[in-house]
A and B are shown apart, each in its own frame.
Chain A
Amino acid sequence: MTIDREETVHVLDESSSRFENAASAGLADRVWAIFDNPIFVKHRRTRLRKSLITAPLAVVFVICILIAYSGYSFQGFTNGMVFSLTMIFQAILLAVIGATQIGSSVGAARESGIIDYHRVSPLSPLSLVLGFFFGAPVREYAMYAMTLPLALICIFNEAPGALGFFEATVALFLSAWTMHALALLTSLSTKKPKAGGRGVIGLVIFVAMFGGNAGIFVFRSAATSLNTGLKMGFFGIDIHWLLFTTLYTAPFLFFVLLASVRKMRSERAHPFTKPEAIGAIALLAFLLIGAVWGSPALVPTAITVLYVMVATSCVLITTVTPNQSEFAKGVRRALKEGRGSLGPWSDWAINRATVLVLAAILLLAGTIVTQALPESPGGRNFFNSYSPPEFSLSITVATSVFVVIYVGLAFQAFHLLMAKRASTMFALFLFMVWVVPLLVGAISGASGIDEGIASFIASLSPIAGISLSAGISGLDSTRLLQAGAFCPAIFFAFVFNNLVMVSKRRLEKKIRDSEEKPEEKPVALEV
C-alpha cells in the first residue's frame, strides 16, 4: 500500500464539495433520498443476494403449488379455502418470519456495536428505524410477492372479490407492521442484544399459540365475509371496519415507532418522554371512549376499559421512571446549571407528576365510561342474572385510579431506594399484593370456605378487585369487596408517596453534600 497524501487530500476535498451539493439538493433528490435509505439498501443487498434468495423463493413457490393443488382437489378456489390458506401463509411470512428478522438484524447490529456508527452518522434516528423496519424483512416481502399470483387466481374466482382482497391485504399489513414494530422496540430495548432476538421469537410464539386458532378462524372466514361492508361504531358513528381497525392500529404503531426512534437515538434513553406517555394514555382513553360509546353491554365494557387503562398506564409508567443513578445524574446537572431541582417533565425527574396526570386521565375516562354514557338496556340485562344488591362503579374507578398511583409510586420508590435489584424487588412486591391474594382467594373458594370470605381475599388483589368491586360476583357483600379492593390501593398509594418523597430528599441531600465536598485527586502532580 502506498499512501499518496496529495491524492488523499484531492479525494477528500472532492468529497467535501459533493456533500455541499447534497446539502443543496432539490426536492426531487430529497424525495428520492427517502427510497435511498442506506439501511434499507444495505438489507436489500445482503438479503436479496441471488445465492441467498433462490432457495426461499423456491420453497414458497412449491408451497403455493401445493395450496393450488389442494384447491383444485377440493374446489377450494370458489369456497375461499385457497384464499384462507394463502392468507395464513402470507401472515406467517410477513408477520412471523418478518418480525424475527427485524429482531435478529437489530440485535446483531447492537451486539457488534455497529449501530453506534449509524448513531453518530448524520442519518436521523427516524431514518434508521425506517431502514430496519422495512429493510430487515425485505426477503419476506419478496417471498410474499411470490404468493400474489395465487391470490390473483382467487380474485379471478371471486373468492374473495378485488375489494375483499384489498381489505384483507390492508389488515394483513397492519398486523404485520404491528408485529414488526413490537419486534423492533423489543430488540432495541433489551439489555442484552441477543436476548432481544430471542424475545422477539418468544413474542411470535406467544402470539402464534394464543392467537393461532383465532387467526385461522379469522382467515377462514375472511374469504367469505370480506367486502360485506361490516360497520363498527366510533362515538356512535358507524364506520367501515377497515377504517375502524386502522384508526386503532395507527396510533399504536405511531407510539411504538416513536419509542423505537428514541431508543435508536440513544441506548440509555427512556422509550417515552413523560409528555409522550401522557399523550399516549390520553389518546388511548379517547379511542376507548369512542369504541364503547353506545355499547349495548356497557358495564362489562366499562370494566374492560378500566382494566386496559390500568394495565397500559402501569406499563407506560415503567417506561418513564428514572432509576437511582439517572435521578442522581439529573440532580447533579440541575445543581451544575444553577437550578434548584429538576423540572417535573425531565427524563431524569421522579415520575410523581406523570403518575398523577395518568391517574387523572384514568379518572376522567373511567368517569365518562361509567357515569356519563347513556346506559343501554342491554347492559342492565347483562347483569340481571347477578342481581348485585349495591351496585356502584364509582368505587371501581377510584380503585383503578389508586392502583395506578401506587404502582407508579412503588416502582419509583424501589428505584430510588435501591441502586440494584429494584425491578426484582418491585416484581416481588407485585407478586405479594397482586398474585398471592388472588391465589389464596381461589384456593379458599375451592376448599369450601365461605364464598364471601374467599371473594374478599381475592378482592385484595386489583386483578380481581377491580371487577369484584363492580359487583359482578353477585354476592351480598359488595360493600366489603369494594373495601377489600379500595383500602389496600389507597394505603399503598399513601405509603409509597411518602417513601418516594423521603428517598428523593435523602438522595438530593447526599448529592448536594458530595458536590460541595472537594474530592480527592487521583494523582498529586504539579506541572
Chain B
Amino acid sequence: MIHVKDLRVDYDNVCAVHDLSFDVGPGEVCGLIGPNGAGKTTTMRAMLGLIEPTYGEITMCGVDMRENPRDANRLVGFMPDFPPLYDDLKCWEFLDLFAASYGMPKPERPYAISKLLDVVGLTEKHDSMIIELSRGMRQRLMLAKTLIPDPKILILDEPASGVDPQGRIDLKNVIKAEASRGRAVILSSHILTEMSEFCTSIAIMQRGRMVVNGRIDEISARVMGAATLTVEVLDGSSRFLEIVSGDERAGAVERIGATTYQFRFNGDAVASAALLSNLIGNGISIAAFAPKREGLEDLFLKIGAKEVS
C-alpha cells in the first residue's frame, strides 16, 4: 500500500534522505527507527507531500504522491509528535473542521464526531475548549482527527509521546484494530519496547539511509542469530540432554533451575516447533518451552545506532 522507491530529499545542500526504498503492505505495522537526525520525520513529510523530494517515487495505494497529492492525501491519516491544535475551538468543532475538510456531509458529522470522541475516550470533553485539554488529551484528540477520513494508510510520527500509560494501551489497541482492518501503518517512536509489541516490520534509518528493513522476526533471526530457548522438563532429563546435544543448531545447555534448562538455538520458529515435537515424541514430559529473541532495543543497538531518538 505504501511504496517508496529511491527517495532522496535535500535540505539546503544537506542530503536528509538518501535513496530510500521500502514497502508497507496491508495490515502491516512498520516501525521507523533511527537516531535523531536520521531522516525519519523528513521521510514522513515527503511521503505526505509536505516536502518536495529531490527525486524518488512515492505511491499510496497506487496513487502517485507527486502527480496527485490531493488524491493520495485522501487515503492518508497523519499524526505528528506535537499535536498542533486550534486552542480557540471546542473539541467537536475541531473534528468538525477536519470532517468538513475531508468532504463529510454536514448532517452526518455530529454522529461520526461523537463516536470518534468515544473511541479515543474524550466523550465528556465534547464541548470543552481545546486549550483546557492536557497534553495526553490533545494527543487523543489528534488521533480522533487522524481517523476521521477512515484512512487506508496511517502515518504516525511519535504518536505515543506525552501520552499516559492508559493512553498508550489505547493507542496500541487502535493501531492493532486499524491493522486488522487491512490498513497500512507506519510509525516512528523512541519507545522501542512498545513498538515491538505491535510492529510487524521495522525500518532502521541512520544518516538518511536505510540500514535495514523487513519483518521483525526475519531481521531478528538474521541479525541477532540464535534465540534463547528455555525448557522445563518434568521427566526424561537425560534423554532431553541427549537429544538437544545431538542437534547441531543448539548450543551448550545450561541448567538454570531444578527442572529448567536454557540453551541457544539457531533456528526459526519452524525449527523450534520441530525440536519440541521431537522431544515430546521421545516421551519427554515438557512443562514449558519458551523461545525468546532479543527485543527491538537489542536489535537496534546491535545494528549500530547509539542514540535512540
Residue ranges of A at the interface with B (Cβ–Cβ < 8 Å):
1-5, 7-9, 11-16, 18-19, 21-23, 25, 29, 36, 38-39, 41-42, 45-46, 112-114, 116-124, 266-269, 324-325, 328-329, 332-333, 336-337, 419, 519, 521-523, 525, 527
Tell me whether B162 is interfacial, beta carbon within 8 Å: no
Residues from chain A with a CB closer than 8 A to the CB of B223 are 525, 527
| The one of A8, A113, A121, A267 that contacts B82, using a Cβ cutoff of 8 Å | A113
Segment among B7-15, B241-249, B285-293 that sits at the interface with chain A: B7-15
> In the complex, which residue of chain B has the Cβ closest to the Cβ of A514?
B15
A38-B100, A114-B84, A527-B219 are contacts. A16–B10 as well, Cβ < 8 Å? no
A98 to B116, CA, bound (A): 36
Query: Is the beta-carbon distance between B104 and A19 smaller than 8 angstroms?
Result: yes
Residue of A7, A8, A118, A328 near B13 (CB, 8 A) is A328
Contacting residue for B211 out of A12, A41, A46, A525, CB 8 A: A525
User: Contact partner of B103 among A1, A22, A333, A527, CB < 8 A?
Assistant: A22
- Chain A neighbourhood of B147, CB < 8 A: 8, 12
From B23-31, B105-113, B252-260, B276-284, give the one contacting chain A.
B105-113
Chain A residues with Cβ below 8 Å from B50 are 116, 119-120, 266-267
A1-B170, A333-B54, A522-B206 as given contacts; A325 in contact with B80, CB under 8 Å: no
Render B113-153 as a binary contact track against A, CB cut-off 8 A, 1 for contact. Answer: 00110111100000000000000000010000101111000
Do residues A121 and B102 form an inter-chain contact, with CB atoms below 8 A? yes
A522 to B20, CA, bound (A): 13
CB-CB under 8 A for A121 and B98, given A1-B166, A324-B13, A325-B13: yes
Q: Which residues of A contact B108 (CB under 8 A)?
A: 14-15, 18
CB-defined contacts of A8 to chain B, threshold 8 Å: 119, 147, 174, 177
Give min CB distance, B105 to chain A, whole Å: 5
Complex: how many Å from CA A18 to CA B150?
Answer: 11
Residues of B contacting A29 in the complex (Cβ-Cβ under 8 angstroms): 105
Which listed residue, B54, B82, B101, B111, touches A122 by the CB 8 Å rule? Answer: B101
| Cβ–Cβ contact B115 & A3, under 8 A | no
Chain B: interface size category: 35 or more
- Residues from chain B with a CB closer than 8 A to the CB of A38 are 97-98, 100-101
Interface contact A332-B70, CB-CB below 8 Å: no
Residue of A nearest to B107 (CB): A18
Query: Taking chain A's interface residues, is the majority helix, strand, or loop, or is none over half, making it mixed?
Result: helix
Q: A1-B170, A5-B177, A36-B106 are in contact. List 14 more A-B contacts (CB 8 A).
A: A5-B173, A15-B112, A15-B150, A21-B105, A25-B105, A29-B105, A42-B86, A120-B49, A120-B76, A268-B52, A333-B54, A336-B6, A522-B209, A523-B305
- Give A2's nearest chain B residue, CB to CB: B121
> Given A113-B84, A114-B84, does the pair A9, B209 have CB atoms closer than 8 Å?
no
A13: which B residues are within 8 A, CB to CB?
150
Q: Is the CB of B120 within 8 A of A1?
A: yes
Taking the closest CB of chain B, its distance from the CB of A110, in whole angstroms, is 10
How many Å lie between the Cα of A336 and that of B118 in the bound state?
48
Bound Cα distance A120, B59 (Å): 15
Evaluate contact between B89 and A46: CB separation under 8 angstroms: yes
Is A525 touching B304 in the complex (CB atoms < 8 A)? yes
Cβ–Cβ < 8 Å partners of A22 in chain B: 103-105
A121 close to B54 (CB less than 8 A) = no
Residues on the A chain within 8 Å of B36, using CB: none
Please state if B80 and A419 are interface contacts (CB–CB under 8 Å).
Answer: no
Determine the chain A residues whose CB is within 8 A of the CB of B12 once the complex forms.
Answer: 325, 419
Inter-subunit contact A9/B181 (CB<8 Å): yes
- Most A-side CB within 10 Å, residue of B82, B100, B121, B170: B100
* B88 within 8 Å of A (CB atoms): yes
Q: Are A332 and B89 in contact (CB under 8 A)?
A: no
Q: Are A266 and B52 in contact (CB under 8 A)?
A: yes
Task: Give 1 or 0 for each of B37-63: 1 = CB within 8 Å of chain A CB.
Answer: 000000000001111101100000000
Q: With the chains together, A11 CA to B105 CA distance in Å?
A: 15
Closest chain B CB from A388 CB (angstroms): 51
State A36–B109 Cα separation when bound (angstroms).
13
A13 to B, closest residue via Cβ: B150
In this assembly, does B73 line the interface, its C-beta being within 8 Å of a C-beta of chain A? yes
Bound-complex Cα distance A337 to B55 (A): 8
Partner of A16, one of B54, B116, B150, B303: B150
Q: Are A23 and B103 in contact (CB under 8 A)?
A: yes
28 contacts between A and B (CB under 8 A): A3-B177, A4-B119, A8-B147, A8-B174, A14-B111, A15-B150, A18-B104, A19-B102, A21-B105, A25-B105, A45-B93, A46-B86, A112-B84, A117-B84, A117-B98, A120-B76, A121-B73, A121-B98, A121-B102, A122-B73, A123-B101, A268-B51, A332-B8, A332-B55, A336-B55, A523-B209, A523-B303, A527-B219
